[in-house]
Amino acid sequence: MKVISWNLLRLTGAAVEDVATLIDSQKPDILLMQEATRHIEALPGLVGGHFYRLSWLGRIHGLAVWSPTHFPRPVALSLPASRLPGRLPRRRAQIIQMGDITFANVHLSHGQLLNRRQLARVAAALQGKPSAIIGDYNAVGPIFLPGFTDVGPREPTHLSGNVMPVRLDRCLAHGLVCRASAALDFGPSDHRPIRLELHLEGPHAELAPSPARKDRLRRFYR
């Protein structure tokens, strides 16, 4: 399954026509988007397919997913938030079921402890299913999440302050094989799209974790 993830950079980055061009050139099975505004809702009118957007309270942007094939309406998962005043918005993940694979579309917080806690919440919600957590992690340095492997491209995907290149756009996978990954060229956004070829690793029964392992995931960074 070909997966592309792209942080569109709200109103000043990629427009719906840019997203349509990416779909036409790459032909993904599923496209995950972060910082997607309501203008991106016009995407099916340009390329067909099926689209859902998850807005964030108090923000003009949110998460979105597109696929040429029908899939169930995604589920919103609330993530841990900072207790400091003004640390908004409360972030949510978009949980998407595509056949036997569950995708979590994420745009995590900038706090390096907080975004690890948010990842642990997503991993616990996936309950050991063949899955991938993909999107803008806002994470610096390595990430260790029990049962998951970092399979995303290793090159930088974002220019911080248009000066320092960093790898913010990532993919952690469980029960999946990544046959290829790459960061595509910069477009109108300050993030590069990432492309992954993900496939099931084996029978579902072999992928289900024990109850003790599930419990460890729930406690991790709680």
The mean pLDDT value for 158-166 works out to 80
How far CA 199 is from CA of 73, 171, 204, in Å, comes to 22, 13, 13
At residue 87, the pLDDT reads 56
Q: How far apart are CA 93 and CA 155, in angstroms?
A: 24
pLDDT-above-70 percentage for the chain: 86
> What is the average pLDDT across 167-183?
97
Q: Which residues contact 90 (CB under 8 A, 6 or more apart)?
A: 56, 57, 78, 79, 81
pTM of the predicted model as reported, rounded to 2 decimal places:
0.89
State the average pLDDT over residues 3-9: 97
Phi, psi of 89 (to 5 degrees): -90, 165
